[in-house]
Structure 1
């Protein structure tokens, strides 16, 4: 990633994706890890491993996100949405092209790593520190994080190890921790797909609050309703390419027509 260019036309860019291509390697189920001998043989004979293939996950995607926007990413499974977010977060290198960001983007996914052997309470503290919050800030926001997650509504789960949590409880706590801090760029990957309707409404409200606090929010969701309720703009990716970028209602309508959901 690189430092973002200056504001233009009164809009402050927070993320610029410039003709980005992302290629990664997939190892087949029967592919051996290999040895020095087999690797040397392939190098000498110029033969590749037949069980390993390259996947061109993102193909020449370009767009600019601005401060105050909430942007939904939609598309079929495997279209490159999550891969693109990981590249913006600096977790995946681009094969070519550039990603410019303002500050350090924060990626929240349902698989975000917390420590399963530690209690929810310890994970709140460690998660807050990892996001750059001070200990005082964590103390001030601790109870609101627990209350927002709702994991204590049916018992004192916050004092129990996270390995005892359901997947939904873990995802709610991750979202509560990540959204407790104001982010310049916050990326949410399917976090709203977990939990009941009550928690989804709370999450959507919090994303709207983050926007009003002048951050930029990206949301990957298979729920078109969540995109429409939360975002004012949408990017439609299909087979790694950016098929459409525009107002959320227009992009979702075109996607639903394409997929036969209408």
Structure 2
């Protein structure tokens, strides 16, 4: 287990995670040791530039005048703010691992996955992959106005299946997603849970070497999480690697062989799922107590 020197005591206000009672007693996933690397992230940095960022506050009791606003519009420097979403993260992943990524909202978890998948260019650092990652999120391909049937075919083709393979996998995808006759209706009529199940079923249908799942199981019930875990195990046993971003610590513990805790874009901890999740829960509890004490002192004052 690794713990970085990053200080996480003075940070994010919005802290949350979920506990799923039905998963608490689940047996930990058994690792499938392999010396073969599937992915190597080396000192990765990702930044966003936000244009038109507004400064907070104009001084006590003073509102900006029309002249102030016109003056700001005429300046050559349009307010630009740089957001550092990922800051110097490095780790290696091996074939057969299921790696969970946890952290508070805005900590950089999803950006890290998107950078690994090649959807976000790094500001610096490198990402080396043994094969093209499949990010669960054919969201850019799935279209709400089209039926589930059409989206399954489009999504399967986007995942690299041939037309014949997509047709052969069609009923398997429908059955796995448990959407029944809704497959003939537009996706805009689906609940969030149905949409999440269909996205998972499509993304996992091709058995990719590297599968990345971003919050896809958040709306699934215990039955669907069990099916998803079995599917992830199949991918790992076929020498694949799985990444799972989730706020559900129990789901992460029951599905992953290793957990990365990311905070403010930095890798804070990397190790055994139960140890990392327990340390994270203790941190969250301490921050919640601190926040309540601050609120009480403000109210008393």
Per the TM superposition, whether the score is higher than 0.5 is: yes
Aligned to 1:12: 36
Select between 174-183 and 158-167 the one with higher mean Cα deviation: 158-167
Matches within 5 A, 1:55-94: 55-94=83-122
Aligned to 2:169: 141
Matched residue SS, 2:253:
helix
Aligned to 2:269: 244
Number of residues of Structure 1 aligned to a counterpart in Structure 2: 239
Higher relative contact order (CA 8 A, sep 6+): 2
Deviation of 1:184 after TM superposition, in Å, equals: 0.9
Cα 1:90–1:40 change in 2 (3 A) is: farther
Whole-angstrom CA distance in 1 between matches of 2:246 and 2:94: 20
Structure 2 unaligned runs (5+)? 1-32, 56-71, 287-301
Instruction: State the TM-score, normalized to the length of structure 2.
Output: 0.74
Whole-angstrom CA distance in 2 between matches of 1:251 and 1:111: 30
1:202 aligns with 2:230: no
Structure 1 unaligned runs (5+)? 1-8, 32-37
Cα 1:104–1:226 change in 2 (3 A) is: same
- Which one of 213, 236, 260 corresponds to residue 211 of structure 1? 236
Could you say what the CA RMSD is over the residues aligned between the two structures, in angstroms? 2.3
Aligned to 1:117: 145
Matched residue SS, 1:146:
helix
Select between 107-116 and 181-190 the one with higher mean Cα deviation: 107-116
Aligned to 1:35: none
On the 8 A contact 2:34/2:96 being kept in 1, the answer is no
Aligned to 2:192: 167
Q: 4+ residue stretches of structure 1 with deviation over 3 A? A: 27-31, 38-41, 109-113
Aligned to 2:16: none
Whole-angstrom CA distance in 2 between matches of 1:30 and 1:127: 39
On the 8 A contact 1:73/1:234 being kept in 2, the answer is yes
Deviation of 1:26 after TM superposition, in Å, equals: 2.6
- Which one of 83, 96, 116 corresponds to residue 124 of structure 2? 96
1:108 aligns with 2:136: yes
Cα 1:39–1:98 change in 2 (3 A) is: farther
Deviations 1:99-148 (A, max 9, x none): 11111101114955401121111111111111110122112211110000
On the 8 A contact 1:109/1:190 being kept in 2, the answer is no
On the 8 A contact 1:110/1:190 being kept in 2, the answer is no
Instruction: State the TM-score, normalized to the length of structure 1.
Output: 0.85
Deviation of 1:30 after TM superposition, in Å, equals: 6.7
Cα 1:151–1:28 change in 2 (3 A) is: farther
